[in-house]
Structure formats: C-alpha cells, structure tokens
Amino acid sequence: MPIIELRDVSKLYGFGDATTVALDEVNLSIEEGEFIAVMGPSGSGKSTLMNIIGLLDRPTHGNYLLNGRSVDRLRPRRRAKARRDTIGFVFQSFNLLPRLTVLENVALPLAYKGVSLNKRLKMAERILERVGMQEREYYYPKQLSSGQTQSAAIARALVNNPKIIIADEPTGNLDSAASRLVMELFAEIHRTGTTVLLVTHNPELTRYATRVVYMHDGDIISDEHTDLGEVAKTARKVMYTIPTTSEEDDLAGVSALMHAVPGPREHARPKTKKHKKSSRKNSHARAKKRVKV
Ligand SMILES: Nc1ncnc2c1ncn2[C@@H]1O[C@H](COP(=O)(O)OP(=O)(O)OP(=O)(O)O)[C@@H](O)[C@H]1O
Ligand SMILES: [Mg+2]
C-alpha cells in the first residue's frame, strides 16, 4: 500500500480570468521508504504539491490518501494531528524561532503533543546528537552557520519521529559544503526507512534519490526510478532543455483568447486555465520530444 497517493489532484488559485492552475490533475503514488527528488522550473507547482502532501494545504479537486486513508474531509484538528504525527518539514528559510535556543527550538513540536518538559528536552538532545549538533544545544539561531541552522531545523523536523520528511529546497541558502552536510543527513534519515521528499533545483542532488519526479506547469512530465549515487538522466537533461513558457506561447495564447468565440461549455471554465493548458501542451510536447533524444 502506498504511503502517499494522489488521484487527479488539482489546485487552482484565484477566480475567473485570474485563475492559476498550480496543479493540473496530478496522479502520484509513493511507497514507504522512497527518496523522491522533485524538480522543475520556478512556478511549476513543486511547493504546491509539497504543501498538499504535507497537509498544509488542500486540493481544489481530486483525492489524497495518506497511509491508505482519505484525508480530504478531515476536520482541522484531526488534520493538524495527522500532520504532526506523520510529517516533518524542512524549509529553505529554516524557520527557527530566534528567541529560543537550538534545544528549545527542536523540543518545541513536542510541546504541542503534551510531552513533559523534561522528556521534551531529553528527546531533543538525542535528536541533536543524531544530526551532530550536540555541542550547539544552547546556541541561539543567529550564532549558527547556515549549515548548522539547517541541521537544527532538520532535528526539529525529526523530533516527532515522522514517517515522511518533506524538504522544500533545503539547500537553497547553503554553500556546497553545507549542502553536502545537510544531504548526508537526509541520506541517513532515508536509510532508517523514512520516506523523503526533496524539492531541489540542483540535478547533482538526485544522487541521493531513488526516484526523480519532474514537474512543468502543474503537471508531472517525467517520473524516473534511479540508483542511489547516480544523477538521474532525465533530471539532468530536462533541467537544461525545457524552456519556461516562451513569449511566443504567451502571445499565441493571448491571441487565441481574443479571437475565440466560446461555446456554451467554455463559458463555465476559467479562461486562464484553457489558455494555460493550450500553451502547456505546446511546451509539453516540445519537452517530451527533447527528453526522448
Ligand atoms: N497562494 C497563492 N496564490 C496565488 N497563486 C499561487 C499561490 N501559491 C502559488 N501560486 C501559483 O501557483 C503556481 C505554482 O507555484 P509553486 O509555488 O508551487 O511553484 P514552485 O514550483 O514551488 O516554484 P519555485 O521553484 O519558484 O519555488 C505559480 O504560478 C504560483 O504563482
Ligand atoms: Mg517552491
């Protein structure tokens, strides 16, 4: 049974003419223990996908099964509980609280669970040791290097012992040495059986992944299983060949909108979606052609 299953999941922002299709009927099935790298150009829907999988956001359409159970209709409290119990987040901007020490930051998620203070600090200590940060327990975030800050944020994500770690560009603000340190931590987390979802713009980091999903315009356009230690072939190729929507596409789309005489069905649909779909088809076809080479 997949730990994560998305069925025809769409996410639309805005209304009418201003509708943006951030995700366009995405299907994705993830087994426990996979390490998935999610790639794609800016605006292709990577963070939207992560936020939906991480229960930070809801799809506009479609179904999401987490651990085989539908989470579409969960009430806010149960959603928050499912999120707390199952998912750990790591973001590009670290998001540590500046007035708390590293130890207090890492222990914080346990407070929401009602764990006693003593126990919280003990658990946080253990996790900080695991990420090699035991000597920085009493530092404040501003006293840490960016690599150490991200290690502390990873410790915080791990403290609830989540089955899934979602990391949205966790190395985006790190130099290459710090990125390596952080990626080794993810590799170690993965070795213990945790499912890891990593958004990255760096094809090199697909070496750590067992599968690489490539997004474009709200769609998954490539999904490749890879061997640990190797850079995914398609990830490297598509990375440098897919153009974002070209000016030509945009002009063709605008011109099509201006000339189209909408039929009765088309009135019901947001125009931008139609425009976006048609321009996506063009670039999609181009992308496919190039990936095949
Ligand atoms: N809260 C929002 N309101 C309106 N539009 C949004 C919102 N969040 C995202 N979008 C739009 O949805 C699309 C997908 O955005 P998303 O942030 O998922 O892209 P991304 O692949 O993570 O990009 P990046 O690599 O820049 O982080 C974009 O067109 C974006 O402008
Ligand atoms: Mg993003």
User: Using a 6 Å cutoff on CB, does residue 43 contact ligand 1?
Assistant: yes
Nearest C-alpha to atom 31 of ligand 1 is from which residue?
Answer: 43
Query: Is the predicted pLDDT of residue 182 greater than 90, yes or no?
Result: yes
Question: What DSSP string describes 208-264?
Answer: G-SEEEEEETTEEEEEEE--TTS--HHHHHHHHHPPPSPHHHHHHHHHHHHH----H
| pLDDT score for 232 | 84
Per-residue pLDDT band at 235 (split at 50, 70, 90): low
What DSSP element (H or E) covers 153? helix 146-158
User: Using a 6 Å cutoff on CB, does residue 47 contact ligand 1?
Assistant: yes
User: Using a 6 Å cutoff on CB, does residue 45 contact ligand 1?
Assistant: yes
User: Using a 6 Å cutoff on CB, does residue 220 contact ligand 1?
Assistant: no
| pLDDT score for 252 | 47
- The rounded Å distance from CA 45 to ligand 1 centre is 6
pTM beyond 0.85: no
Whether 11 maps to a domain, the answer reads yes
Number of structural domains (the chain) is: 1
| CA dist list (Å): 19 to 15, 189, 248, 262 | 5, 38, 21, 17
User: Using a 6 Å cutoff on CB, does residue 200 contact ligand 1?
Assistant: no
pLDDT in tens, 21-42: 999 999 999 999 999 999 999 9
- Given a contact cutoff of 8 angstroms between Cβ atoms, the answer to whether 47 and 168 are in contact is yes
Whether 256 maps to a domain, the answer reads no
Nearest C-alpha to atom 18 of ligand 1 is from which residue?
Answer: 45
User: Using a 6 Å cutoff on CB, does residue 10 contact ligand 1?
Assistant: no
CA-218 nearest atom, ligand 1 = 14
- The rounded Å distance from CA 105 to ligand 1 centre is 28
Whether 264 maps to a domain, the answer reads no
User: Using a 6 Å cutoff on CB, does residue 272 contact ligand 1?
Assistant: no
In angstroms, the CA 124 to CA 130 distance is 10
CA-14 nearest atom, ligand 1 = 4
- Given a contact cutoff of 8 angstroms between Cβ atoms, the answer to whether 154 and 131 are in contact is yes
Within 10 angstroms of residue 171's Cβ, the number of other Cβ atoms is 25
Whether 202 maps to a domain, the answer reads yes
Nearest C-alpha neighbor of 280 from the set 229, 220, 232: 220
Whether 67 maps to a domain, the answer reads yes
If you average pLDDT over every residue of the chain, what do you get? 85
Find the CATH number of the domain harbouring 144: 3.40.50.300
DSSP strand E in the chain: where?
4-13, 20-30, 35-39, 61-66, 69-70, 87-91, 164-168, 195-199, 211-216, 219-225
In angstroms, the CA 251 to CA 77 distance is 46
- The rounded Å distance from CA 219 to ligand 2 centre is 14
- Given a contact cutoff of 8 angstroms between Cβ atoms, the answer to whether 54 and 215 are in contact is no
In angstroms, the CA 46 to CA 92 distance is 13
Whether 287 maps to a domain, the answer reads no
Domain extent for 234 = 4-247
Whether 288 maps to a domain, the answer reads no
Nearest bound ligand to the CA of residue 220: 1
In angstroms, the CA 193 to CA 208 distance is 14
Nearest C-alpha neighbor of 283 from the set 235, 203, 221: 221
Give the mutation target among 17, 38, 44 for probing the ligand 1 site: most ligand atoms within 8 A of CB: 44
Q: What is the mean pLDDT of residues 187-213?
A: 95
pLDDT in tens, 3-20: 999 999 999 999 888 999
User: Using a 6 Å cutoff on CB, does residue 15 contact ligand 1?
Assistant: no
Whether 277 maps to a domain, the answer reads no
Share of the chain above pLDDT 90, in %: 74
Helix, coil or strand: residue 121: helix
| pLDDT score for 274 | 40
Per-residue pLDDT band at 239 (split at 50, 70, 90): low
Residues in Cβ contact with 285 at an 8 Å cutoff, skipping those fewer than 6 apart: none
User: Using a 6 Å cutoff on CB, does residue 3 contact ligand 1?
Assistant: no
Nearest C-alpha to atom 27 of ligand 1 is from which residue?
Answer: 42
| pLDDT score for 15 | 87
Higher pLDDT, 23 or 94: 23
